[in-house]
C-alpha cells in the first residue's frame, strides 16, 4: 500500500465539510460524504504513514505512531499511578487508532442502549439512555460490518484458531462456555475488498503491514480519495473551531506541518479526534459567546469519560504456547456479556485473546515491579497464554477531561487531564472477570496465573455524549451539537454509555448514519 | 560517558541490573547493553546523571561490601530499601524497556521477533499447539 494522493481545496472554500481526525469516525465519515459528492477536508494531526513505514517491533512502532504529546492523569484509578503521563494509547497518524486496533467487532445488545432504564439509578453513576435504539442502528451495523469485512458476518468466513486461542477456547469449553469463537474480527481470513488474507504476522497492534485488517488508512480514505472530493491534510493540528455572531461554526484554525497557523473555512465542522482530544478541542474553542467551551451550555463537554472496565489474565503452562504467532485478538468468549445482575455487578463483559511480545509483556504484566517474581513470569514467556477482559464501565460525571492548568503542548495549547475514579461496579466486574479468566487457564492445566491491571486506555468514550434533552448531553441523535447546528461530533465521544462491546464497529455505524443525515440536511438545516 | 561516573560506578550499575532482573539463562551481554543505554540517557539528562552519581555511591555504602560483591539475598534487601527513590525508579524505567527489547533476550525467551518479512506465521506455526484438542471457532448454536 503506497501513499495515496488527494485533491486540494482552497482555504477560503466555504462549502467544504471539515473533519478533524482521520480515524474510525472521521475516516469513515469522510468516505461516506465524498461518495455522495460532498467536498471534504480532513485535517489530521499525525503523519501519513503506510504499511511500508510500519515496523514489526513493539516499542519502535509505539514511538512511531502513538500520540506521545503530553497528557496528564489524575484520580484514584491505577493508571494515574502506573502511567501518569500516558493515560491512553491512541494513534496520531492518518487512519488514527484504527491502524493499531485489533479488529474485535461485537455489536451492542438492545438493553445497552437503555442503560439507565435497565440498570436503574446506580449511586455515583451518571447513566442515561441513548436517544436511539438497536433497531435504528441495525442497518448501519450491517453496512459497517460489510465495509470492514468482519469475519463470521455476511458470509465472511471465520479466522482459524491460533495457539493462544486454542488454550483460551479449550479452557472455556471446560468451564461450559458456548459463545466462543475467533470473531467477529475485522481482518480478512480470505482476500476481500481488494485486500489480501492475513499472513498471521502477529503485529496488528503495530499497524498491519499486510493490509489484511480494515482501517480507515487502507479502506475508507483511499476510496474517498478516488472520488476527487477528498482533501486530506496530514501533519495538521486543529487548534480552534471558529464561529460567527449567530453561533454557527465557520471553520477551524490549524497548525500546518511548517508550524504556520492557517484558517480553513467550512460549511460544516465534524470533530473526530477521539474522546480525549475531541472535548479538549471544544473546550479550547471557548469564546465570548461560548464562555465554557463550544457546544457546552450543558456543562457536559468532557464529562462521563469512559474507558471500559479492563484487566488481563495470563496462564502459564509447562508446554509451549507461542502466543505471539498469529492474529492478536482473534478470540472472543461472549457468555459473560449477558445481562445478569446476579453476579454482583451490572453490565456485562467479554473475554478476548491478547498477545504481547516480551518487550510489552515485561513492561505491562506487573507495572513498576522488578525482582525475581517478575523475572520468573517473564521466563515463562514462551508458555504463556493471555486474555483481555473488557466490560461496560459506569459513566460518572466527574470522570472527565479538563484542560491542564499548567502543562501545554508544542503548540502552546493546554493539554488534556484525564481524571478517573473507579466505580464500585467497575471494581466488582474486574474482580469477577479476572476470576473467570484465571479459572479458564487453570482448567487446562496452568501452573501459574497472573492478573494484570489496566493498560493505558485504548478505548476512550463518552466525553460529548448523545442525549435526547439538550441539558443532559452535548449532541443529539445524529451527533449534531445541541448548541451549534452545523457542528458534529463523529467519534466515540458521542457514546451515551459504553456497553461491553469493543467500540469501533459502533463508531463506524454511527458515522455512516451521520453521513446520511449530513447529505440529507446539508442544503437545508445546515446552511 | 561522564567522568563523574567511575568504573566502579559502572560495575555497581551492572550489578543492580543483574540483581533487579535476575535470569539464570541470560549472559552478561544484554545487561551490559542496558548499562550503556542508561549511561547514554544520562549523558543527555543532567538530572538522571545526578541521580546516578549519588544513588550508585549510596548503594556501595549501605553494607560493609560494595554492592556488586553482595550475595543475592542481601543485594535484594538493599534494592528493596531504595526501591522508591527517584534514582532507582529512573533506572528501572529504562531497564525494563531496554532489557526486554534486546534481540538476544528475545531469542532466550523464545520470541521470534519481526515476522512480516518471513511471510508471517501462517506457514510457520501459528496453530501448531498440539497439546489441546482443536476448538470450535464459531459459537455453538443454541
Ligand atoms: C492497541 C489497540 C487495540 C485496539 N483494538 C480494538 C479492537 O479490537 N476493537 C475495537 O473495536 N477497537 C479497538 N481499539 C480501539 C479503536 O482503535 C478506537 O476505538 C477507534 O479507533 C476510535 O476511533 P476515533 O475515530 O474515536 O479516534 P481515532 O481512531 O483515535 O482517530 C482520531 C484521530 O484524530 C486525530 N486528532 C486528534 N486531535 C486532533 C486535532 N486537534 N487536530 C487534528 N487531528 C486530531 C488523531 O491524531 C487521530 O488520528 C484498539 C485500540 C488500540 C490502541
Each residue's pLDDT tens digit, B44-61: 999 999 999 999 999 999
By C-alpha distance, the chain A residue nearest B75 is A371
Q: Is the ipTM of this complex over 0.95?
A: yes
- A446 band by pLDDT with thresholds 50, 70 and 90: very high
Smallest CA–CA distance from B93 into chain A, residue = A368
Cis peptide before A184 (omega within 30 of 0): yes
Asked if B73 has any chain A CB less than 8 Å from its own CB, the reply is no
**Cα-flanking dihedrals φ and ψ of residue A376, to 5°?**
-65, -40
Nearest by CB to residue B116, choosing from A210, A362, A374, is: A210
End-to-end Cα, chain A, rounded Å? 38
| pLDDT of A501 above 60 | yes
Spatial separation of the C-alpha atoms in residues B82 and A325, rounded to whole Å: 39
Q: Is the CB of A71 under 6 A from ligand 1?
A: no
Q: Are A27 and A35 in contact (CB under 8 A)?
A: no
pLDDT tens digits, A178-233: 999 999 999 999 999 999 999 999 999 999 999 999 999 999 999 999 999 999 99
CA dist list (Å): A258 to A13, A106, A132, A305: 21, 41, 43, 33
**B106: which 3 cell numbers?**
528475545
Nearest CA in chain B to A160: B137
Residue B42's domain comprises 2-118
Q: How confident is the model over B26-46, as pLDDT tens digits?
A: 999 999 999 999 999 999 999
Q: Cβ atoms within 10 A of the Cβ of A260, count?
A: 8
Check pocket membership of A274 for ligand 1, CB cut-off 6 A.
yes
Out of A30, A90, A92, A412, mutate this one to test ligand 1's pocket (max ligand atoms within 8 Å of CB): namely A90
Classify burial at B63, counting beta carbons within 10 Å of its beta carbon; exposed 0-12, middle 13-18, buried 19 or more.
middle
Q: Which pLDDT tens digit goes with each residue over A453-497?
A: 999 999 999 999 999 999 999 999 999 999 999 999 999 999 999
pLDDT less than 50: residues of chain B: 142
Task: Identify the band that residue A526 occupies on the pLDDT scale cut at 50, 70 and 90.
Answer: confident
Task: Choose from B82, B95, B121 for mutation: most chain A CBs within 10 A.
Answer: B121
Question: What pLDDT sits at residue B1?
Answer: 64
pLDDT at A237 over 70: yes
Measured between alpha carbons, how far is A492 from A23 in angstroms, rounded to an integer? 11
Q: Cβ of B115 under 8 Å from any chain A Cβ?
A: yes
Residue contact B131–A163, C-beta within 8 A = no
Q: Is residue B125 part of a domain?
A: no
Phi, then psi, of A135 in degrees rounded to 5:
-65, -30
Q: Does B107 touch chain A (CB under 8 A)?
A: no
Render pLDDT for A380-409 as a digit per residue (tens, 0 to 9).
Answer: 999 999 999 999 999 999 999 999 999 999
B140 contacts chain A (CB < 8 A): yes
Locate the chain B residue with the closest alpha carbon to A82.
Answer: B93
Q: Any CB–CB contact under 8 A between B126 and chain A?
A: yes
pLDDT of A243 over the 70 cut: yes
Domain-embedded: residue B127: no
User: In chain A, which residues have their Cβ closer than 8 Å to the Cβ of B120?
Assistant: 198-202, 210
Residue pair A497/A346 in contact by the 8 Å Cβ criterion: no
Cell of A325: 504467532
Question: Is residue B105 in some structural domain?
Answer: yes
Question: In terms of CATH architecture, what is A17-526?
Answer: 3-Layer(bba) Sandwich (3.50)
Looking at A19-91, list the stretches that DSSP marks H as alpha helix, in order from N- to C-terminal side. 24-35, 58-65, 78-82
Cell of A435: 476470576
Nearest CA distance, A296 vs chain B (angstrom)? 40
Q: What is the full DSSP assignment across A438-475?
A: HHHHHHTT-SEEEEEPPPSBS--B-TT-B-SSGGG-SB
The number of angstroms, rounded, from the C-alpha of A348 to the middle of its chain's C-alpha atoms is: 18
What pLDDT, on the 0 to 100 scale, is given for residue A525? 80
Bridge partners, A232 (sequence order):
A42
Contact by Cβ (8 Å): A386, A312:
yes
Which residues from B are below 8 Å from A378, CB to CB?
23, 100, 109
Q: Ligand 1 mean position to A507 CA, how many Å?
A: 10
Cα B27 to middle of ligand 1, angstroms: 40
Tell me the three cell numbers of residue A450.
Answer: 497472573
- Kindly give the pairing relationship between strand A261-265 and strand A249-255: antiparallel
Does residue A22 surpass a pLDDT of 80? yes
CA A245 to chain centre: 34
Q: Atom 38 of ligand 1 has which residue's CA nearest to it?
A: A273
Cα(A192)–Cα(A82) distance, integer angstroms: 41
Is residue A249 scored above 80 in pLDDT?
yes
Asked if residue B96 belongs to a domain, the reply is yes
Mean pLDDT to the nearest integer, A175-179:
98
- Which residue has its alpha carbon closest to ligand 1 atom 32? A273
B90 in a structural domain: yes
The pLDDT tens digits for A54-82 are 999 999 999 999 999 999 999 999 999 99
- A380 to chain B: nearest residue by CA? B109
Work out how many domains chain B is built from and give that number: 1
Contact A504 CB / ligand 1 (< 6 Å):
yes
What does the pLDDT read at residue A476? 98
Ligand 1: distance of its center to the CA of A90 in Å? 5
pLDDT of residue A524: 86
C-beta A102 within 6 A of ligand 1: yes
DSSP of B34-78, one letter per residue? HHHHHHHHHHT-HHHHHHHHHHHHHHHHSSSS-GGGS-HHHHHHH
Question: Which residues, in sequence order, are CB contacts of A464 under 8 Å at separation 6+?
Answer: A271, A275, A278, A279, A282, A295, A300, A301, A302, A473, A474, A475, A489, A493, A494
Quote the percentage of chain B above a pLDDT of 70.
Answer: 98
Give the end-to-end CA distance of chain B in Å, rounded to a whole number: 67
CB count within 10 Å of CB A468 equals 15
Task: Specify whether the CB–CB gap between A314 and A271 falls below 8 A.
Answer: no
Chain-chain contact of B23 with A378 (C-beta, under 8 angstroms): yes
Q: What is the mean pLDDT of residues A258-270?
A: 97
Q: Does any ligand 1 atom lie closer than 6 A to the CB of residue A25?
A: yes
Residue B123 lies in a domain: no
Nearest to A381 among B111, B114, B140 (CB): B111
**Considering the domain boundaries, does residue B135 fall inside one?**
no
Which residue's entry shows cell 502511567? A83
Could you tell me the pLDDT band of residue A1, with boundaries at 50, 70 and 90? low
Kindly indicate the confidence band of residue A12, based on its pLDDT and cuts at 50, 70 and 90: very high
Contact of A463 with A279, CB cutoff 8 Å? yes
Question: In percent, how much of chain A has pLDDT > 90?
Answer: 98
Amino acid at each position: 500500500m503506497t501513499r495515496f494522493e488527494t485533491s486540494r481545496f482552497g482555504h477560503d472554500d466555504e462549502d467544504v465539510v471539515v473533519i478533524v481526525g482521520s480515524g474510525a469516525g472521521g475516516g469513515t465519515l469522510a468516505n461516506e460524504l465524498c461518495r455522495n459528492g460532498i467536498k471534504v477536508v480532513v485535517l489530521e494531526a499525525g503523519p501519513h504513514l503506510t504499511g511500508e513505514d510500519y515496523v514489526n517491533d513493539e516499542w519502535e512502532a509505539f514511538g512511531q505512531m502513538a500520540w506521545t504529546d503530553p497528557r496528564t492523569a489524575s484520580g484514584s484509578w491505577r493508571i494515574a499511578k502506573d502511567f501518569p503521563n500516558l493515560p491512553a494509547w491512541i494513534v496520531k497518524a492518518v487512519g488514527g487508532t484504527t491502524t493499531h486496533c485489533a479488529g474485535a467487532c461485537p455489536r451492542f445488545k438492545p438493553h445497552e442502549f437503555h442503560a439507565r432504564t435497565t440498570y436503574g439509578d446506580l449511586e455515583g453513576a451518571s447513566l442515561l439512555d441513548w436517544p436511539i435504539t438497536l433497531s435504528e442502528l441495525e442497518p448501519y451495523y450491517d453496512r459497517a460490518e460489510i465495509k470492514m469485512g468482519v469475519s463470521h458476518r455476511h458470509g465472511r468466513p471465520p479466522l482459524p484458531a491460533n495457539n493462544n486461542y486454542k488454550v483460551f477456547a479449550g479452557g472455556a469449553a471446560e468451564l461450559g462456555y458456548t459463545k466462543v469463537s475467533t470473531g467477529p474480527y475485522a481482518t480478512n481470513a480470505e482476500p476481500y475488498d481488494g485486500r489480501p488474507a492475513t499472513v498471521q504476522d502477529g503485529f496488528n497492534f503495530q499497524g498491519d503491514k499486510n493490509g489484511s485488517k480494515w482501517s480507515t488508512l487502507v479502506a475508507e480514505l483511499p476510496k474517498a480519495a478516488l472520488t476527487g472530493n477528498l482533501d486530506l491534510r496530514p501533519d495538521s493540528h486543529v487548534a480552534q473551531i471558529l464561529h460567527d455572531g449567530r453561533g454557527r461554526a465557520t471553520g477551524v484554525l490549524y497548525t500546518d506541518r511548517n508550524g504556520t497557523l492557517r484558517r480553513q473555512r467550512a460549511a460544516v465542522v465534524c470533530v473526530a479526534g477521539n474522546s480525549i482530544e475531541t472535548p479538549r478541542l471544544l473546550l479550547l474553542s471557548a469564546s465570548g459567546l461560548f464562555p465554557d467551551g463550544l457546544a457546552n451550555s450543558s456543562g457536559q463537554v468532557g464529562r462521563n469519560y469512559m474507558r471500559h472496565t479492563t484487566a488481563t489474565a495470563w496462564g502459564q503452562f509447562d508446554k509451549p504456547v507461542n502466543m505471539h504467532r498469529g492474529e492478536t485478538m482473534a478470540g472472543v468468549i461472549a457468555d459473560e456479556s449477558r445481562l445478569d445482575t446476579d453476579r454482583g455487578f451490572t453490565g456485562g463483559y467479554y473475554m478476548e485473546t491478547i498477545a504481547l511480545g516480551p518487550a510489552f509483556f515485561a513492561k505491562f504484566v506487573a507495572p513498576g515491579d522488578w525482582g525475581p517474581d517478575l523475572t520468573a513470569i517473564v521466563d515463562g514467556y514462551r508458555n504463556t497464554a493471555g486474555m483481555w477482559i473488557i466490560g461496560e464501565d459506569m459513566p460518572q460525571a466527574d470522570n472527565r477531561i479538563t484542560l491542564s492548568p499548567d502543562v501545554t503542548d508544542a503548540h502552546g495549547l493546554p493539554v488534556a487531564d484525564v481524571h478517573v475514579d473507579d466505580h464500585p461496579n467497575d471494581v466488582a466486574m474486574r474482580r469477577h472477570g479476572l476470576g473467570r479468566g484465571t479459572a479458564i487457564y487453570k482448567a487446562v492445566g496452568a501452573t501459574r496465573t497472573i492478573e494484570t491491571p489496566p493498560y493505558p486506555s485504548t478505548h476512550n468514550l463518552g466525553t460529548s455524549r448523545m442525549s435526547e434533552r439538550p441539558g443532559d448531553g452535548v449532541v443529539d441523535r445524529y451527533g449534531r451539537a445541541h448548541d451549534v447546528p452545523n457542528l458534529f461530533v463523529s467519534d466515540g465521544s458521542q457514546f451515551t454509555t459504553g456497553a461491553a462491546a469493543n467500540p469501533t464497529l459502533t463508531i463506524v455505524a454511527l458515522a455512516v448514519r451521520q453521513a446520511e443525515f449530513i447529505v440529507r440536511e446539508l442544503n437545508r438545516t445546515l446552511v | 560517558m561522564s567522568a563523574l561516573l567511575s568504573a566502579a560506578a559502572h560495575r555497581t550499575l551492572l550489578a543492580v541490573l543483574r540483581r533487579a532482573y535476575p535470569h539464570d539463562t541470560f549472559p552478561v551481554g544484554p545487561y551490559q547493553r542496558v548499562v550503556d543505554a542508561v549511561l547514554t540517557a544520562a549523558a543527555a539528562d543532567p538530572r538522571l546523571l545526578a541521580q546516578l552519581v549519588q544513588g550508585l555511591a549510596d548503594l556501595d555504602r549501605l553494607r560493609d561490601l560494595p554492592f556488586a560483591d553482595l550475595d543475592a539475598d542481601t543485594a535484594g534487601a538493599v534494592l528493596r530499601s531504595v526501591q522508591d527513590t527517584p534514582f532507582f525508579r529512573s533506572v528501572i524505567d529504562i531497564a525494563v524497556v531496554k532489557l526486554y527489547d534486546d534481540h538476544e533476550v528475545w531469542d532466550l525467551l523464545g520470541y521470534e521477533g519481526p515476522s512480516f518479512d518471513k511471510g508471517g506465521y501462517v506457514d510457520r506455526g501459528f496453530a501448531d499447539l498440539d497439546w489441546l484438542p482443536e476448538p470450535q471457532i464459531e459459537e455453538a448454536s443454541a
